[in-house]
Structure 1
Amino acid sequence: MNKITKDQFDERELEELNPRNELHWKLWAYDDECCFEMEWDGNQLIFIEFLKPMLKYVTDPNCIKKDTILEALFELAREEFRGRHDSSITQIVDSIKDLKAEGELGEWCKYVSWLNKLYLYRGKFRESEAINLCKYMILPHPNYDELEKARYCTFSFTGRVLKNYSEIKCLVPMPEGALELPEYMYINLNELDWKYNFRLPLELNDI
């Protein structure tokens, strides 16, 4: 891989590194001071179009941005499976088939395999299993429930059932006076399937 340095870019370009630019990836991945544009506003790699470069660089022992990439990989898998986006799920599942992964990347591969088994499963599901599924679909990391904040997240059946889909509401702790931002999962316990919506509950016509 050819060495890329800051000298090859002007000041404006350095301030607006774009993950859609391969040369920018080569600089960003090995320079601790470089950021992609808008990175201050969250991880900018959580898009299926960046799956291939993320796997390319996270497996490079010289890449110093592995934590950022791994965070994005876990988030990407969670969001695509939660939304049941068939095309993206196929790409993610295919990407782990020949991936020789250890450590956290190996955990990501196991996470994808676990999500895919649920995605393909069409049997019955218990309410306790549905609550656990919601935690993995809504909380941002498979180990997130070990963190202090997650202890205060509530997941509960609301009693609403729309076309065999039971509604589960998640409330995440917010600062005092802040607007609540609930998340909703709808799970068919008879033949496992799920739907997701942010902030507002779905109506019958949405199912």
Structure 2
Amino acid sequence: MMKGSVLMYQVATVALLALACSLAFAYDPSPLQDFCVAVDKYDSAVFVNGKFCKDPKDVKAEDFFFPGLDIAGDTSSGQGSNVTAVTVEQLPGLNTLGISLARIDFASYGLNPPHTHPRGTEFIIVLEGTLLVGFVTSNQADGKNRLFTKVLNTGDVFVFPIGLIHFQWNPKKSKAIAFAGLSSQNPGVITIANAVFGSEPPINPDVLIKAFQVDKNVIELLQKQFWK
């Protein structure tokens, strides 16, 4: 089988599994029409939850099309990773369908740092290389947060439950590629370091000093140097 065909097969598998997850465990509201292609806000309209619909007579095939996931993302950032998201923002035809997709590229020892998706469960399939992945539970009856981790190789799949903090790390010198499916058209992402140390306006340092039980200088350094 040609390399391109293998990639297409793997991507199709991800999309189908994500769709099955979305149908079985839907979090976004179920659609009441064939499609609702997203458009920008109309004058005097009210934004509720999601996007406004394009007039069906103006809908085109391009509204359901997104090219370029065969192209590697730029991993030159400090974290050594790149996420190419395909949510309703990039693909308007996803609106109301409760599904989205992402390609994640990792340089050697690259990290997709701890983050959460407040509106979607995520699963990933590794297309190339090796990843160490994991998620942390909410506090259990004993007050502890349990960590689940797994080393994934090519063809392996792992699921991150909705809203839980999770990460993916490439522990090897060679690159890695993964595709992710999410059970929401707009799952959102909260990167922990950015949210805590890089919010605008910044969180009062006294709050962070108390929360992390560290010196003020440490907090000030983190607020200046959190990654973007």
- The TM-score by the shorter chain falls in which range? under 0.3
Give TM-score scaled by structure 2 length.
0.25
- TM-score, normalised via structure 1 length: 0.27
Which is helix-richer, 1 or 2? 1
